[in-house]
Structure 1
Amino acid sequence: MKVAVLDITGKETGRKVDLSDDVFGIEPNEHAIYLDVKQYLAHQRQGNHKAKERAEIAGSTRKIKKQKGTGTARAGSIKSPVFRGGGRIFGPRPKDYNQKLNKNVKRLARKSALSQKTKAKSLVVVEDFNFEAPKTKDFVSFLTSLGIENNKSLVVLGGANDNVYLSSRNLERSEVINSSELNTYKIVNANSIVLTESALEGIESNLKK
């Protein structure tokens, strides 16, 4: 599949690149996408939730009242969960939410997500670009020239570029990443995908394995 390469002003450069059918033209596997997104979101959880249980509460261990004759239920410890300030019954404990996923399934999920965006015409390829200095105004102009300034966009670069990254950092609906950071969640979460030529080469070389 051939697509036109655009410049930073959104105009065609007269060149075309061939998108690999093995990466951008497969039949999407919805279940693989679901599994990969589920794993990504699970890994975002810190799992450090913790409540003190009865044995961990600081307090006196003496019996707080006599066993009989009070007219109320017997009670042996101020740290009992039935009292204010006592321990919590079956409280949350630290937990590891990490999930394992076969690397072939993850690769299939990324290819499926990219194929979906390509089929929906939500993916464009631009030539490698840079800004003279970090300016949000320049990045907004770039998005406007592509007609995606109001979309949730993902711009994928071939390598680190501080000027482009810093120019996008103040924009809530846009994100700039390197091709090595691309994952299924970021692809699915964006309405528009912008790939530079160098990023395209990196993505295809990684996903064709």
Structure 2
Amino acid sequence: MELAINGSANKLSVSDEVFGREFNEDLIHQVVVAYRNAGRSGTKAQKTRAEVNGTTKKSKKQKGGGARHGALTAPIFVGGGVTFAAKPRSFAQKVNRKMYRAAMQAILSELNRQGRLTVVEAFDLDATSTKSLISKLKGLETGKRPLIVTEEASEHLYLSARNLPYVEVRDVQGLDPASLVGADTVVITADAVKKIEEWLA
């Protein structure tokens, strides 16, 4: 298949396997969730009634004082332990390489079918300028949340996009399924397309 290059009469020949794959919602969901979970620290920790600092002596006599209570470390008291205390854990999910690549292919293919994949010859700035980047993106009609993918993101491009809250700049090595799914439009250079094709084919 061929991808149209924005602002050029030329077309880019690409693999049907990478940019023409069928959409698989279950696979994409599984891979995106696994990717996001891998970024979770899982360090939340709370104390049980056995771990809080406090005496376990019975707080008052058994009868004649209203409700019958034992130690003040019980969960019903302020400063007591937590009933089902959270402990450090790993949220990692196993996703093999074949599944990950298939999900990336399906995402890129769906972006292409929906017209949300814009291929350009090159995308770079001569100097660090957020204003120049904004005007360049407006010309491409990228929407509110564009993702710019280049073969190797230059420092000028990265610094120019840093002050824009919804604009992301990635090189091919830093590309991930969550950023692709969350973007309104993906602006990608022709060199980056070829590098992605070599990676996923």
> TM-score by structure 1 length?
0.88
**Matched-pair identity in %:** 37
Tell me what 2:118 maps to. 124
- Closer/same/farther in 2, CA of residues 3 and 80 from structure 1, 3 Å limit: closer
Q: Which letter maps to 1:77?
A: A
The 2-side partners of 1:42 and 1:193 are apart by: 23
Q: Which letter maps to 2:5?
A: V
User: After the TM superposition, which residues 125-204 of structure 1 pair with which residues of structure 2 at under 5 Å, given as runs?
Assistant: 125-148=119-142, 150-204=143-197
Tell me what 1:4 maps to. 4
How far residue 91 of structure 1 moved from its aligned partner, in angstroms, is 1.7
The 2-side partners of 1:177 and 1:115 are apart by: 19
Q: Which letter maps to 2:2?
A: K
How far residue 204 of structure 1 moved from its aligned partner, in angstroms, is 0.4
How far residue 20 of structure 1 moved from its aligned partner, in angstroms, is 1.6
Deviation per CA, 1:15-69: give whole Å up to 9, x if none. Answer: 32112211001222222111111212222322222221112111234333234x4
How far residue 73 of structure 1 moved from its aligned partner, in angstroms, is 4.1
**Gap regions ≥5 residues in structure 1:** none
Give structure 1 regions of 4+ aligned residues with deviation exceeding 4 angstroms. none
- Closer/same/farther in 2, CA of residues 194 and 129 from structure 1, 3 Å limit: closer
Residue 137 of structure 2 aligns to a residue whose secondary structure is helix
The 2-side partners of 1:62 and 1:112 are apart by: 62
1:41 pairs with 2:64: no
**Mean CA deviation greater in 128-137 or 198-207:** 128-137
Q: Which letter maps to 1:140?
A: I
How far residue 181 of structure 1 moved from its aligned partner, in angstroms, is 1.6
Deviation per CA, 1:141-167: give whole Å up to 9, x if none. Answer: 11111122x332111010131110111
The 1-side partners of 2:190 and 2:39 are apart by: 30
The 1-side partners of 2:151 and 2:2 are apart by: 20
1:80 pairs with 2:47: no
The 2-side partners of 1:85 and 1:111 are apart by: 52
Q: Which letter maps to 1:45?
A: R
The 1-side partners of 2:58 and 2:116 are apart by: 70
The 1-side partners of 2:77 and 2:186 are apart by: 56
The 2-side partners of 1:83 and 1:158 are apart by: 58
Find 1:16's aligned residue among 11, 14, 22.
11
Tell me what 1:108 maps to. 102
Tell me what 2:198 maps to. 205
The 2-side partners of 1:24 and 1:56 are apart by: 55
What root-mean-square deviation, in Å, do the aligned CA atoms of Structure 1 and Structure 2 show?
1.8
Contact 2:75 2:81 in 1 (8 A): yes
The 1-side partners of 2:181 and 2:75 are apart by: 45
Residue 139 of structure 1 aligns to a residue whose secondary structure is helix
The 2-side partners of 1:204 and 1:176 are apart by: 19
Corresponding pairs, count: 201
The 2-side partners of 1:35 and 1:48 are apart by: 23
Q: Which letter maps to 2:53?
A: A
